[in-house]
């Protein structure tokens, strides 16, 4: 399984980019947000990758950060959501915003993605939110690591829920959120937490 690619960006279009590594150029389908972060053709590029095997076809997808990759894998696990719809959703919103939409049940915002209607957006929220609610974190973080104060159902609790949507365990999410300033907005907490979790890998 390919984990990531680092090499020279040799091609890009509106659907993806090709990165040459060791004389072989790998074309990765990706999101508009990842494309916007790639430099000019001829420069160095790095993408976290996901190889999808279906109907005897191999499709390679690349993302600029692990949060976007996690969102993509969660989305294609939802029945009826293919890679095209997943890329459309992640082109319309950041991983932090997507996780927050699922955690709060805001399916309407997800319909802003081209080709994603109400029924599909509702299915995304229902199937992914169930994975969070099953962990029973309705009360948010009850006790932060190191004996910190309880966070209740405030921004910290919502951020933990959103991180669990992205596939992190409650303990992982609570540990990283507990080190942050809970006065930050939910989206800022998620963004900072994802950066911290990425550094731990």
SS3 assignment for 64-82:
CCHHHHHHHHHHHCCCCCC
Cα(44)–Cα(7) distance, integer angstroms: 5
**Residue 51: C-alpha distances to residues 25, 28, 41, 63, 80 (Å):** 15, 9, 23, 12, 19
Q: Is residue 56 part of a domain?
A: yes
Number of domains in the chain: 2
Whole-model pTM?
Answer: 0.74
Together in a domain, 84 and 122: yes
**Domain, as residue range, for 94:** 67-131
The yes-or-no verdict on residue 61 having pLDDT over 60 is: yes
29 or 66, which is more confident: 29
- What single DSSP character describes residue 14? S
Q: How confident is the model at residue 139 (pLDDT cuts 50, 70, 90)?
A: very low
pLDDT the model gives residue 12: 95
Average pLDDT, the chain: 84
pLDDT the model gives residue 100: 84
Q: Is residue 121 part of a domain?
A: yes
Q: Is residue 174 part of a domain?
A: no
The yes-or-no verdict on residue 132 having pLDDT over 70 is: no
């Amino acid at each position: 399984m390919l984990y990531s690619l680092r090499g020279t960006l040799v091609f890009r279009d509106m659907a993806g980019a090709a990165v040459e590594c060791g004389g072989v150029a790998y074309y990765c389908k990706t999101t508009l947000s990842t494309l916007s972060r790639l430099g000019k053709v001829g420069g160095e590029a790095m993408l976290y990758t996901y190889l999808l095997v279906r109907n005897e076809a191999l499709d390679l997808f690349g993302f600029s950060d692990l949060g976007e990759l996690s969102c993509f894998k969660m989305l294609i696990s939802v029945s009826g959501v293919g890679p095209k719809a997943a890329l459309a959703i992640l082109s319309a919103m950041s991983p932090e915003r997507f996780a927050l939409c699922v955690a709060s049940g805001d399916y309407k915002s997800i319909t802003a993605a081209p080709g994603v209607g109400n029924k599909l957006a509702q299915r995304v929220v229902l199937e992914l939110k169930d994975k969070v609610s099953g962990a029973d974190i309705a009360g948010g973080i009850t006790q932060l690591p190191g004996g910190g104060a309880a966070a209740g159902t405030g921004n910290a609790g919502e951020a933990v829920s959103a991180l669990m949507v992205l596939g992190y365990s409650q303990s992982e999410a609570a540990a990283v959120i507990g080190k942050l300033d809970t006065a930050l907005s939910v989206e800022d907490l998620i963004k900072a937490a994802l950066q911290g979790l990425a550094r731990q890998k």
